[in-house]
A = this chain, B = another copy of it.
Amino acid sequence: MTETLLEFFKAMAHESRLRLVGLLAQREWSVQELAAALDLKEPTVSHHLAMLKAQGLVTVRAEGTTRWHALDRDALERLSKRVLQQSPAQTAAKAAPEDWDAKVLRGFVAADGTLKSIPASRKKRGAVLRWLMRDFEADRRYPEARVNDLIQAHHWDSAMLRRELVGHHMLARKDRVYWRLPEKEWKAGGEA
């Protein structure tokens, strides 16, 4: 659904859309009604609705040529909660990795499996990234949204960590689809 927190904030960060959410929270509306209520043209309303739909915030019900839009309250609550906790922590801490990595992880990984922070040093960051890779199976394709979801189980800034995983040659990327690279590429930890 929502790929990143950023997308959610962007979706809400405009007066027209925020107002739109307010209206949609009250009852079902057609595009025409919304355009009238907001004093906007229909294409503009369609445009905003599309963004909200992309976040899964709006449900649509067709009736003839009219489309009735309403707020998906559950989705809004789900998203808001993510804002609140900044990290879902779905995955409780799993089995421990080896020796040096283990020591590093002890410092950065909380008991619930979330990252307390991202190490500034490239070496330690490597340990964290290797640890994140446990969530990715070999020979499997992961769309970018899925990658973000998996990472957000541990840290809100999935965009940064996703880039780091690619930068460290743990994940490869093409056309917004990712896959795991062979472990020998990075498991030892050949750093510059």
Residues on A lying within 8 angstroms of B by beta carbon are 5-6, 9-10, 12-15, 18-19, 22, 25-27, 37, 77, 80-81, 83-84, 86, 116-118, 120, 156-157, 159-160
Q: How many copies, total?
A: 2
Give the distance to chain B from A106, nearest Cβ to Cβ, in Å. Answer: 17
Name the B residues within 8 Å of A18 (CB-CB).
5-6, 9, 157
The reply to whether B6 and A15 form a contact with Cβ atoms under 8 Å apart is yes
| A78 → B minimal CB distance (Å) | 11
List of B residues within 8 angstroms of A12 by Cβ: 5, 9, 13
Asked if A19 meets B117 with Cβ closer than 8 Å, knowing A13-B13, A84-B80, the reply is no
Contact B13 A9 (CB under 8 A): yes
In the complex, the answer to whether A156 meets B22 with C-beta atoms within 8 Å is yes
Q: Would you give the shortest CB distance from A109 to chain B, in whole angstroms? A: 14
